[in-house]
């Protein structure tokens, strides 16, 4: 029972801290939707105007820029700073090469494993699941630890999960379950056509943003301490 109380406090503090940080910067609630729309528009433009290789390359660069921007503002929120759109140019380059490095490593892995997946297509889904688990804290590792190299980021992300996998995945699993339920509910909005799709996108974007900021605060709360140390502090605090 003591364990439940201790971690309920940790999760609750991370959640309230996330809400407080967003309360200082409410405009960021629209950031995921804005970046997603920009990414989709660029994808359509590049896909229609360029050949598959050039278009894919530019889309990859745009994806890295979008992730860099989002991580930059997430870092500001978790640091309890006031952030604004005037910092957008800084955000583009803040973690751009960190994400490029991650995607380069994954591209190499795909090249190596590509023949295996062609021969055994059923392995693609388990491989994606392994990546989702093993690289789960890559965004937080990038913007909270400032890692640059792809291998370094993956190693530090995996190291964090080795140490805190239970404490990290319990709330994340609950959120994924809620997200699945929300996706079923979101289908109701599609009945209303384009307007419903926009409303659905906004709702999902807002909730995902709160979740992303919560993850940042939770990462900070867990990093640098062990389960035993947390329980010791709870007994003596």
Q: What is the DSSP string of 29-76?
A: GGHHHHHHHHHHHHHHHHHHHS-HHHHHHHHHHHHHHHHHHHHHHHHH
pLDDT recorded at residue 191: 58
Q: Which two tokens stand for residue 229?
A: 């140390």
Query: What is the phi/psi pair of residue 80, to 5°?
Result: 60, 40
Q: Which two tokens stand for residue 143?
A: 């913007």
pLDDT recorded at residue 25: 97
User: Nearest-CA neighbor of 75 among 152, 167, 141, 159?
Assistant: 141
Q: What's the CA gap between 13 and 195, in Å, rounded?
A: 36
Name, in order, each residue with C-beta under 8 angstroms of 144's C-beta and a sequence gap of 6 or more.
Answer: 75, 78, 216, 219, 220, 223
Instruction: With beta carbons less than 8 A apart as the criterion, state whether 217 and 142 touch.
Output: no
pLDDT band at 192 (very low <50, low <70, confident <90, very high): low
pLDDT band at 146 (very low <50, low <70, confident <90, very high): very high
Q: Which two tokens stand for residue 211?
A: 């979740």
Q: Is 149 helix (H, G, I), strand (E, B) or coil?
A: coil
pLDDT (mean) for 56-80 = 91
pLDDT for 71-113, tens place per residue?
A: 999 999 999 999 999 999 999 999 999 999 999 999 999 999 8
Would you give the distance in Å from CA 211 to the centre of its chain? 9
pLDDT for 16-47, tens place per residue?
A: 999 999 999 999 999 988 887 777 776 676 66
pTM summary value: 0.89
pLDDT band at 137 (very low <50, low <70, confident <90, very high): very high
49 compared with 9, residue with greater pLDDT: 9
Name, in order, each residue with C-beta under 8 angstroms of 118's C-beta and a sequence gap of 6 or more.
Answer: none
User: Nearest-CA neighbor of 99 among 152, 55, 149, 53?
Assistant: 149
Q: Which two tokens stand for residue 227?
A: 């389960």
Q: What's the CA gap between 123 and 116, in Å, rounded?
A: 8
């Amino acid at each position: 029972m003591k364990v439940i109380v201790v971690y309920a406090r940790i999760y609750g503090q991370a959640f309230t801290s996330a809400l407080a940080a967003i309360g200082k910067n409410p405009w960021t609630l629209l950031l995921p939707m804005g970046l997603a729309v920009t990414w989709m528009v660029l994808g359509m433009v590049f896909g229609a105007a360029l050949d598959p290789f050039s278009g894919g390359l530019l889309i990859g660069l745009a994806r890295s820029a979008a992730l860099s921007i989002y991580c930059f503002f997430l870092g500001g929120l978790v640091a309890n700073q006031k952030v604004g759109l005037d910092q957008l140019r800084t955000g583009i380059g803040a973690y751009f090469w960190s994400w490029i490095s991650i995607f380069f490593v994954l591209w190499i892995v795909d090249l190596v494993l590509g023949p295996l997946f062609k021969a055994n297509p059923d392995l693609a889904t388990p491989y994606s699941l392994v990546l989702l688990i093993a690289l789960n804290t890559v965004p937080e590792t990038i913007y909270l630890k400032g890692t640059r190299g792809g291998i370094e980021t993956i190693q530090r992300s995996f190291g964090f999960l080795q140490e805190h996998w239970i404490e990290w995945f319990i709330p994340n699993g609950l959120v994924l379950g809620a997200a699945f339920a929300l996706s079923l509910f979101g289908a109701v909005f599609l009945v209303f056509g384009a307007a419903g799709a926009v409303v659905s996108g906004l709702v999902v974007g807002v909730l995902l943003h709160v979740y992303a900021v919560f993850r940042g605060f939770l990462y900070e709360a867990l990093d640098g301490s062990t389960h035993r140390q947390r329980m010791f502090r709870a007994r003596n605090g």
